[in-house]
A and B are shown apart, each in its own frame.
Chain A
Amino acid sequence: MSDERFRVGVDIGGTFTDCVVVSSTGRSLKGKVPTTPEDRSIGFFNSIDSATHGTELTLDAVLRSADWIVHGTTVGTNAIVSLTGARVGLLATAGHGDCLFVANGRGRLPGRAPEQLLDLVQSSSKPAPLVPKTMIAEVPGRIDKDGEVIQPLDEARVASAVRDLVAAGAESIAVSFLWSIRNPSHEQRVQEIVAELAPEMFVCCGADLVKHLGEYERTTAVVMNAYIGPLMVRYISEIEDRARDLGYIGDVLFAQCAGGAISAAEARRAPILTVNSGPVAGVVQSQGFGHQIGESNLITADMGGTTFDVAVVSGASNLTREITELGGYELALPMMDIESVGAGGGSIAWIDDSGRLNVGPQSAGAVPGPACYGRGGTMPTVTDADVVLGIIPTESYLHGDFTIHRNLAEESINALARPLGISLMAAAAGISKIVDAKMADLIQRMTQYRGHDPKDFVMVAFGGAGPVHASRCARDAGLRRVVVPNPVFAPVWSAGGAATADVTRVLLEPLVAQVPDQAGVLQKGFEELEARAAKAFGTEGFNFESTKFERYIRMKYVAQIFDLGIPVPYELHTPESMDRLLADFIEAYLIRFGAGSEDPSGIIQSTGLELRATAMMGEAPSLLRSSSGVSAVPDITRRVYWDELSEVVETRVIKATAGDADLSGPIVGPALIDFPDTVIVVRPRQTATSDSFGNIFIDL
């Protein structure tokens, strides 16, 4: 029997389910199958099976020898976006049951990009309610901002409300009371009452889920948690049961939105933590990849069909944010800070009322998709433009699942070019340039405008369309280099991130303390959080080697409003450590907000603590190994229009039809490197090289 052990990562997206299997012996396998929306667990195991194709392994064999299976899932996200979650009953503080509806008066525009606000501020509506008012029960009981009980909980009213909600068909119950973050006793008592009256009911409480000051965002989080709770509990069981049937004896873990993985038990308790976990896993994978290639300042760029998702990975600040948008709601949830712009391969190019050429944010999606797919789409898209320009080959793309119809792409782009009075090629080049500019603007907003020098950053480009557009948008944003991780794995990058994820808990605690005077309060706060995290890991029964704690303090000038998360990789016992904390804060503040932005009164305080606790499971096998495969296909050429040269040029194309790419020396652009499911574009005057892991570097 082989000693080979595996870690398995599976990422279910809207169109494809990706799998990466990394082995203790150094090999990495990937699988990609269509997502099975009717029962996603089918696609889950199909993807693992697909990864074994062409090897001696089987699905059963992999599962029998797997140490971990980590799953990034969109089940929860999809249920929220498509409003197909459970019928939730909400118990709220008397007088405050409407907080999801009032939404602080800003319920119409969460998550909308600034450029959409002026149009939408008059024309937009609120999202459909996740809980109808008839399923909200207000119960007497009031705690004030100091945590003092002003009015006792009316337990009789709670009991009758629970019975009423159950009778009205509640499938899960959310509890969210004012100031439960200061005193959770009322919420906890309600949870007990629900457990007595409806033992099978999925129930969750606001403060138990997230310690966030602000009842609207906290209530949204707990309601969404209850909304996807029953569905996720079922789903998790299906995956676990089937894995067990196939011989897997370990735990199925779930990728979480703050990075890392959580246990199945935690995912059952707090399924909301799994939303957006796929893109986040990609960022985490990039972080580890950055260490491997010796780069600590990264821009991760994931370009799919609809959006371009960007995260900044830098040692100078933490990566999580407390508030995010989902389904038109704002919710409090520690989530990795990823920003998006509506620019992807499927983004539609169109002419507005003023005769201007626009690209996005509408997308042709997977169905019907770009015109060139020949699936009935007629609207010109970014992918169509790339086909017309000659960048995307017609013979094979996206696993060869689609035949690319150049004539359809031309037809769609021509329909734009004619009214604009420009040539087919000029229109295609224009579409490509506009989408690249949008992406560059987003990167600039996240680097230069936040005080980072873009020249200090390297872009890690993944996702199907990422490598196609990376080299220009990165150049325009002022970055110095693009790295496309081994293009065999770049299209399944998030699954790779899942496969190598560690079990992680992110704990937030609001804590106002003066810096540097209250060092003890901060230190004690962290110690309590660390004890909580360690206890949680212990009760989950993982066999971990050690626990890693990363501390961040959210800090601000007393007089100012916005705070920053400052990493604190040191104890806070000594005056020297507090001096260092102050210096770190001021340095980060000036970088972020610019010279002269600090408050001269100089009083600095903490607003909260964040602890990222990781159960270290031993060194994760690396996804990328020294390349053994060498591209054996001789170079060919393709006629490509290059905007920089204003002409069509017979362009060198390196075909990497299988295995890893070894460029055997620098490639000077213009050039293309074709892979089965993506194309790496080396623009004029850029140079591409590869390393022994099959990663491709483009110097801009």
Chain B
Amino acid sequence: LPVKLPDSSSATFDGIIRSHEVDFSRIAPGPWDGKVQSYIPPQRLRIDPSVQFHEEFTQDLDPVTYEVLRWRFWNINVEHNLTIKRISNNMIVCYMDDYNTWLLTENGDSLLGGPSVQYFTGMADLSVKYTLEHRSIDGGVQDGDVFLHNDPFIASAHQLDVATYAPMYWDGKLFCWIFNAAHQVDLGSPTPGSFVTDAVDIYDEPTPWAPIKLYDRGVRQDATWDAFARQSRMPQSVTLQLRGQVSGINTVKRLMTQVLDEYGPQVVKGVMRRIIADASQAVSSRLLTVPDGRWEESYFVGTAGQLRRVRTVMTKVADQLTLTNDGTDEQGGPGNGTYNSFRSGMLSAGGAQLAWDQMYCPAGVLNHLRFEPVPGLLTTANYPAAVTVVTMSIVSMYHSSQLLSRMLESGPRPLLARVNATGALSSGQASFVSGLNLEGQFAVGLVGDGAVGALGAFGDRDGTDTGGHWWWPRASSGNIEELETSIGPVLFLYRKELPDSGGPGEFRGGNAVTTAFVPHKALTLDHIILGGDPAINTSPGLAGGFPGRTGLWLGSEKLALNGGGDGFRLPATRSEIDQAATLRRIKSNTTASLGLDAVYVNEAGGGAGFGDSIERDPESVLNDILRRQVSVSLAQTLYGVVVSGDVIDLAATDTRRAAIRAERRAKSDEPVMPAPADVVLHEVQPFGYGIALGVTGAGDRMWACRRCSHALTYASLPFRDGCRLWQCLPSEVEGFYVDHREFFPDVGYAFRRWFCPDCSAQLAAEFCLTDDPPANDFQPLAGTKTSATSGGSHE
């Protein structure tokens, strides 16, 4: 382990989870029962005594058996995963991997999940615990049962993610749970595909089903199957996918039976518990290398003419993280999230950034998380909020990863490598086309850009252009040829990487994708656009890195083409389209029907940058230019690198970078609370990538610029109070961000850059409302040591 765990560690050493994810005394009164407020399990589940648990296990495991069985469980779960995909006929599952599978202990501790979409991660344990609590009465949980539910207020991102799950019994006792959830193709509602972009509340959406049995003691409940499929436009597909899910469960039962026969229940359960214990200890030891503190992440989602603030505050003490969404805007409109989504984001990010070598073991991660949800907010909405557009579930993934990254900036190098600024499409931007071809056949399908994604920059390297998403291992947009065959009557003019879309930084954010398509051999064609407006919700940067460039949905009713003769040319670039059409912006969460001569363009926002862009190695910038990832002009404006041909002009680069620093000084305001001019700091230690903490001769702790050690302000204040501030309209940032005012005319939306008053290093860069107080995203807890003294440093 990175550090020896102290006696005070809250890690579990036997795999039994004894702490609880919520301290009910610190949150709004309930009931948190999944009726109005989301379900949160009580510390002690209220389970009917008719349920007999198989709880005994041995801790006396030899290391070889443990390793063999650990991977056996993984392989069995992978087979569970593949079984569903083979049987389903749903492209969203089969190509985009929008589903996942889990194995849980008898009491619903989530042991491991599969390598599919991770935003389901918080779903499995909540569902099982709810079912134990609410369905066990009078022998309601039995061997041979299979349950179904899709209630977001119990545990689901939206109604389309349908869970099936079953208890597995051994020697007459409930031994473990097998769980899966998969996106269904359509479950009714006024909108085909059931993403209801204009939903006011859940009554405009498919009905959520609380846990109900598909099988009762092995007997198929035909009425349930029929009723569930009946609500869909595609009932056969719904039934087929459910059969795949049940088949997956049966596969696991068969394979687990072999394992239990071979090794016996006590060893098998012992391995399960040790997987949890190992994960918990790994998370604990990693957290202990990071100083205690309070971190905050806040950003905006633009929808329906409003900017909606999403905020999470995380406090770390020793090896425990406490999270609250206090300060997030109230629920409303489409795309709300429930408690399940809020915790799923942090469970998944915790898996990737603290338990990457532990199969993400959710229970081991959860042992170190405490949630303080505020009911009725966008990210923890109450019934009957609308949820199908699923925006907050995606936001929660990136928001959580970004927040953890801010904390891990202060950690040792292995953790710095896990620091990841937000990637592209971070508020769930996606689009469908639907239409009739010339034969009158209807088709609907995803355009796929959402799956292309891009990774934001890391704490030690660049992000990845069109690199997918960290939480979606097997996403695929599909080939253009596949899309033109299957999603509807369209012809793609282009799909290419979008240079300059990645956020500038010392490490550059990944560039995103741009596509353009036209109706082709179509009788009708609609473009259905989901998620936050890409002009607003960019990907926030870290450590002074720029947010990713904003995106655009565009369209025109008329693309002027000159017949099919030799002089005829289909546009293949944005500028060629601009010569043949007048593009206008399209709002998110709308259905655009621009006719059969239309053209549609998507320019996705890019991944965010890390660190000050004028600190980027000029050679790296030159390579970016040569690889057509960054334009010569952006290199000059935001990176301060001047090239001549394929050579860096070093003198001009020095001059340009000096000019940028001078401009930063000239255009920024004085710090509101600067450190005294003559202060000298001692014991300067890093706290984050660009900033540090030091101690004055009088014993006061102060923030400092890590680059030049200049004292900024007192540590009890936001470090921004000691920085110079340059605030402007987003569109004034060297043309890097689009003008938001067309769709958000009455919103005071601004871009802020914070500089060291001495060396002008860019220490933070963010979007905000014009009159927001300075963000306070880093705050050490009183008396905490910094990373260098607590076990690690990235220097």
Contacts and interface: CB of A to CB of B under 8 A. Distances in A.
Given A108-B467, A430-B64, A600-B239, 10 more contacts: A102-B477, A105-B448, A105-B476, A108-B468, A151-B570, A152-B566, A214-B481, A353-B285, A355-B1, A561-B85
A562 B89 CA distance: 9
A561 B481 contact: no
A323 B611 CA distance: 40
A109 B452 contact: no
A101 B474 CA distance: 17
A597 B243 contact: yes
A474 to B, nearest CB: 16
Interface stretch (B188-196, B487-495, B773-781): B487-495
Contacts of A426: 62
Contact of A215 (B85, B464, B477, B480): B480
Interface stretch (A390-398, A402-410, A438-446, A678-686): A438-446
Contacts of A96: 480, 492, 494-496
Contacts of A42: none
Contacts of B63: 356-357, 420, 422, 430
Interface stretch (B71-79, B176-184, B324-332): B71-79
B448 A140 contact: no
Interface stretch (B20-28, B349-357, B718-726, B787-795): B349-357
A99 B94 CA distance: 21
Contact of A151 (B95, B237, B482, B568): B568
B465 A151 contact: no
Interface residues of B, number: 100
B205 interface: no
B482 A213 contact: yes
A105 B352 contact: no
Interface in B324-366: 351-353, 356-360
B357 A353 contact: yes
B83 interface: yes
Given A150-B564, A437-B68, A104 B452 contact: yes
A354 B70 CA distance: 13
Interface of B: 1-2, 62-64, 66-68, 70-72, 74-75, 78-79, 81-83, 85-89, 91, 94-95, 114-115, 236-237, 239-240, 243-244, 247, 250-251, 278, 281-282, 285, 351-353, 356-360, 417-418, 420, 448, 451-453, 455, 461, 464-468, 470-482, 484-485, 491-497, 513, 516, 520-521, 564, 566, 568-573, 626-628
22 contacts: A94-B494, A99-B480, A99-B495, A101-B465, A102-B452, A103-B466, A105-B475, A106-B476, A118-B360, A122-B352, A125-B464, A126-B464, A146-B521, A151-B570, A354-B357, A356-B70, A357-B67, A444-B75, A449-B82, A596-B243, A600-B236, A600-B239
Interface residues of A, number: 79
A230 interface: no
Interface string A125-148: 110000011100010101011100
Contacts of A593: 83, 86-87, 247
Contacts of B359: 118
B9 to A, nearest CB: 14
A145 B488 CA distance: 12
Contact of B473 (A104, A118, A438, A560): A118
B497 A106 contact: no
B257 to A, nearest CB: 13
Contact of A140 (B2, B83, B236, B572): B572
Given A121-B352, A353-B357, A106 B475 contact: yes
Contacts of B626: 132, 134
Contact of A95 (B67, B357, B493): B493
A98 B494 CA distance: 9
A81 B396 CA distance: 38
A136 B470 CA distance: 29
Contacts of A561: 85, 88-89, 91, 94-95
Contacts of A94: 494, 570, 572
B459 to A, nearest CB: 12
Nearest to B70: A356
B495 A98 contact: yes
A64 interface: no
Contacts of B282: 353-354
Nearest to B353: A122
Nearest to A429: B64
A122 B356 contact: yes
A599 B79 CA distance: 20
Contacts of A98: 495-497
A195 interface: no
A599 B481 contact: no
- Most A CB within 10 A of own CB, among B64, B85, B356, B453: B64
A117 B473 contact: yes
B243 A119 contact: no
A2 interface: no
A108 B481 CA distance: 21
Contacts of B70: 356
A179 interface: yes
A52 interface: no
Contacts of A560: 87-89, 240
Contacts of B465: 101, 126
A449 B79 contact: yes
A108 B237 contact: no
Given A353-B2, A601-B236, A179 B71 contact: no
A115 interface: yes
A422 B351 CA distance: 30
A99 B467 CA distance: 13
Interface in A333-379: 352-358
B418 A122 contact: yes
A144 to B, nearest CB: 6
Interface in A554-575: 557, 559-562
A562 B83 CA distance: 11
B429 to A, nearest CB: 14
Give 5 closest A-B pairs by Cβ, nearest first. A95-B494, A95-B572, A94-B572, A105-B452, A430-B64
Contacts of A126: 464-465, 467
Nearest to A442: B75
Given A118-B360, A215-B479, A102 B513 contact: yes
Contact of B67 (A144, A152, A356, A594): A356
A216 interface: yes
Given A114-B115, A151-B569, A353-B2, A106 B468 contact: yes
Nearest to B478: A104
A55 B68 CA distance: 49
Given A106-B475, A441-B75, A444-B75, A101 B497 contact: yes
Contacts of B573: 95
Given A122-B353, A178-B480, A559 B236 contact: yes
Nearest to B95: A561
Nearest to A152: B566
B74 A115 contact: yes
A539 interface: no
A452 interface: no
Nearest to A139: B572
A676 interface: no
Nearest to B462: A125
Given A118-B351, A445-B75, A95 B496 contact: yes
Given A107-B467, A144-B491, A444-B75, A354 B358 contact: yes
Contacts of A134: 626, 628
Given A560-B87, A597-B243, A109 B473 contact: yes
A216 B448 CA distance: 14
A354 B1 contact: yes
A151 B571 CA distance: 11
A434 B94 contact: no
A689 to B, nearest CB: 28
A98 B511 CA distance: 13
Contacts of A85: none
A5 to B, nearest CB: 49
A213 B497 CA distance: 22
